[in-house]
Structure 1
């Protein structure tokens, strides 16, 4: 397995966890919180996708899907167009609400772009310095691994929350009543 195949496999694994966390949940479940300051599944998936989208746009020299491909408008959220979720307050988290199809639609669009971009990379490309503001400077490989790490953490948090909400007796009863 080469570098590109490893990166692609990692991004594909994130996609699996995102879908396992979101698919089949209604907006109430996607936006439930374990406490008033906690993140929601909607926010976690939106945030991990926004971060991946912004980093890939920067690396590929393209517009993000969020601002350049209409996803900001599709979500129709009362948030700043440039928001990515960094530093969000509990009130900011509450503003990120979306149905499962919109969350996974945006994620899948960014994922497909990511996999296409990564497929065209060489080991020389991966060694290219993309950010000199750090010591040592950040290479494309390091940036991609950073995105993978952040995405996996947030996707895992979303999967955990799904388990909490689907196993909770009150949530299970409410879900059964809606079915």
Structure 2
């Protein structure tokens, strides 16, 4: 038996939100994607989109690469107008409700490509790289490993929220 490296744990964890999202595919109709149960601002479409956007934007920042959103044309394919350059943090109710799509496969494709980029990035790191301080504006300062864990945690929570909503009668 071999010892698992921290980067290997992060790679395993990074795949879990997309795996869970793909298992939800049979429930992703235009109605369920864009419903607002209990009149909540965030639809399932928003939860999936935001999960992919936050993975993409933060991974691109860490890796020093272009966001998949722009590089692979997802911004054009989603056609979200002014919301196209946002990632969902701090959205007003109106902005969150503007994130709509009937295309579950497009949402899953973007989430898959964003996740693949995160995994590819983590594969370039050593365990020692995870200790690098990348943001000193927080107390305590944020390390690369903590940022990656935060990216994965945010996505997992939002996909979990979507799964919960999809289990309700809409």
Q: TM-score, normalised by structure 1?
A: 0.87
Residue 98 of structure 2: aligned partner: 95
Bigger mean CA offset, 80-89 vs 95-104:
80-89
Match of 2:137 among 119, 133, 147: 133
- For residue 79 of structure 1, report the CA deviation from its aligned partner: 2.8
Number of matched residues?
A: 166
Residue 51 of structure 2: aligned partner: 48
Q: How does 1:107-146 map to 2 (within 5 A)?
A: 107-146=111-150
Say if 1:24 and 1:100, in contact at 8 Å, map to a contact too: no
Name the Cα RMSD after superposition. 1.4
- Deviation digits for residues 101-134 of structure 1 (CA, Å, limit 9, x no counterpart): 1100101111111111111210121111111111
For 1:79 and 1:27, the matched residues in 2 are separated by: 22
Mark the CA change 1:23 to 1:127 in structure 2 (over 3 Å): closer, same or farther.
farther
Mark the CA change 1:12 to 1:74 in structure 2 (over 3 Å): closer, same or farther.
same
Residue 32 of structure 1: aligned partner: 35
Pair 1:158 & 2:149 matched = no
Pair 1:73 & 2:76 matched = yes
- Deviation digits for residues 85-107 of structure 1 (CA, Å, limit 9, x no counterpart): 11112221221112101100101
Unaligned runs of 5+ in 2: none
Say if 1:11 and 1:148, in contact at 8 Å, map to a contact too: yes
Mark the CA change 1:24 to 1:163 in structure 2 (over 3 Å): closer, same or farther.
closer
Residue 175 of structure 1: aligned partner: none
- For residue 23 of structure 1, report the CA deviation from its aligned partner: 4.2
- Deviation digits for residues 54-75 of structure 1 (CA, Å, limit 9, x no counterpart): 1100110001111232111110
- For residue 36 of structure 1, report the CA deviation from its aligned partner: 2.2
Pair 1:20 & 2:23 matched = yes
Match of 1:105 among 103, 109, 113: 109
Q: TM-score, normalised by structure 2?
A: 0.91
Of the two, which has the highest radius of gyration?
A: 1
Q: Is the partner of 1:12 in helix, strand or coil?
A: helix
Unaligned runs of 5+ in 1: 172-179
Q: Is the partner of 2:108 in helix, strand or coil?
A: helix
